[in-house]
Structure formats: structure tokens, C-alpha cells
């Protein structure tokens, strides 16, 4: 569960509601697993943040937190999440290359599309360095090369065109476009 509040007072009120609900329904929140993350306002972080407690136990303050598989940072920079995705891509692609080394090209391409093109939460990335983004792009290209046993220095655009597979930039454009389309079509009040 995530609670968001623009002030410490508001957060304390939300926690009081949670504590009241938990008591009424026989639930217990684990305060040891609970964290507080304070977002930067511009380039500033508050020097002092009052202690926040749940059932008498104080929360520890963190600068980043993994929530639903996505890394959220105090400065809302996406580099850590992109690096998480780059590492996950390396693991998935190496597993595919080992397990399906003798598979046909068609099978390998199908597996690549299923396991290497998801980029979970990639449509939300808006604040990142070129270095982090390029590292993910290079990992994506290398994953395809290794899986299909292509030469290390073959043209990335050429190999994707030949295989009729979307390149990295096409995948990212589609993710952003899909997110915008779903947001515009949403009937949820804003």
C-alpha cells in the first residue's frame, strides 16, 4: 500500500485512518517493512523530517524504494529503474540463449518478443540520463545478437529489419504512445 501526502500532517492523518481500520478488522501492519520517501521539491530536500510512526514504530527514511517492481527515487530520476530493467533483460536474454541455443530462428524471435520487449514501466520513464538509456538500448541489441548468434558488430538496424522485429526506439515509442492513448481514453475523473 502507498500513502501519498503533500504534508507530514496529512500523512499522519492517513496513518491514523489505517491504524483505526486495522484495529477494527483485526489486522496488523508491519512497520519494519514500512518506509518513508520524501520527494525533492525542485532540487531541495527538507533538512528535517519529523518522525512518522505506525503502531508506535518509527519508519525508516529512504531515498529510493521498489514498488510493484519499479524503482522510485526521491528526485524522480528514472536511471535506477532503467538499470534494473537492463539487468533483468540481461538475465532473461542469457537464459533464453542457453536454453534455446538449438531452437529455430522463428522460435527464438518469438521468445525474444515475449521475454525481451516488455520493458515494464518503460512508458513512464521521462527523467533519465542518455547514458542509462543507451546502456539499455545496447543491452537490447546485444540480447538479440546473442540469441540469434549474429556477429558482434553487425548492424543493429539491419538485423532487426531482416528479422522483422522492432528495434529499441520503436518499442519505446510504442510504449509511450500506448500509455498516452490509454490515459486519453480513460473515463476516470482527473
- Is the confidence at residue 189, as pLDDT, over 70? no
Do 190 and 136 touch, CB atoms closer than 8 A? no
Same domain (yes/no): 168, 112: yes
Same domain (yes/no): 83, 151: yes
Q: Is residue 17 part of a domain?
A: yes
Structurally, how many domains does the chain consist of? 2
Same domain (yes/no): 171, 103: yes
**Strongest mean pLDDT among 37-46, 80-89, 171-180:** 80-89
Residues 6+ away with beta carbon under 8 Å from 11: 3, 5, 36, 52
Q: Strand, coil or helix: what is 36? A: strand
Do 72 and 37 touch, CB atoms closer than 8 A? yes
Distance CA 155, CA 146 (A): 13
Same domain (yes/no): 93, 177: yes
Could you give the C-alpha distances from 52 to 30, 44, 65, 141, in angstroms and in order?
14, 20, 17, 45
Domain that holds residue 111: 79-185
pLDDT tens-digit series, residues 103-126: 999 999 999 999 999 998 888 899
Identify the pLDDT of residue 190: 54
Same domain (yes/no): 89, 177: yes
pTM of this structure? 0.84
Identify the pLDDT of residue 117: 94
Q: Is residue 161 part of a domain?
A: yes
Average pLDDT value for the chain? 91
Same domain (yes/no): 97, 175: yes
Identify the pLDDT of residue 128: 96
Same domain (yes/no): 175, 83: yes
Same domain (yes/no): 103, 177: yes
pLDDT tens-digit series, residues 159-187: 999 999 999 999 999 998 988 898 899 88
Residue at a domain's end among 62, 88, 105: 62
Q: Is residue 39 part of a domain?
A: yes
Distance CA 21, CA 16 (A): 9
Q: Is residue 190 part of a domain?
A: no
Q: Is residue 155 part of a domain?
A: yes
Identify the pLDDT of residue 7: 87
Same domain (yes/no): 13, 46: yes
Amino acid at each position: 500500500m502507498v500513502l501519498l501526502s503533500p504534508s507530514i500532517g496529512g500523512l499522519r492523518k492517513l496513518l491514523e485512518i489505517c491504524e483505526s481500520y486495522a484495529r477494527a478488522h483485526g489486522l496488523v501492519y508491519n512497520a519494519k517493512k514500512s518506509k518513508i520517501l520524501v520527494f525533492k521539491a525542485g532540487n531541495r530536500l527538507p533538512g528535517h523530517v519529523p518522525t512518522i510512526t505506525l503502531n508506535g514504530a518509527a519508519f525508516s527514511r529512504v531515498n529510493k524504494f521498489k514498488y510493484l517492481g519499479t524503482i522510485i527515487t526521491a528526485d524522480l530520476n528514472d536511471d535506477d529503474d532503467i538499470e534494473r530493467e537492463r539487468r533483468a533483460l540481461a538475465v532473461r536474454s542469457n537464459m533464453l540463449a542457453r536454453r534455446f541455443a538449438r531452437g529455430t530462428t522463428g522460435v527464438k524471435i518469438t521468445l525474444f518478443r515475449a521475454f525481451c520487449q516488455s520493458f515494464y514501466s518503460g512508458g513512464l520513464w521521462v527523467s533519465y540520463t542518455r547514458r542509462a538509456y543507451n546502456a539499455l538500448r545496447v543491452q537490447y541489441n546485444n540480447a538479440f545478437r546473442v540469441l540469434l548468434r549474429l556477429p558482434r558488430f553487425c548492424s543493429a538496424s539491419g538485423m532487426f529489419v531482416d528479422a522483422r522485429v522492432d528495434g529499441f526506439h520503436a518499442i519505446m515509442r510504442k510504449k509511450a504512445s500506448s500509455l498516452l492513448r490509454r490515459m486519453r481514453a480513460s473515463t476516470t475523473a482527473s
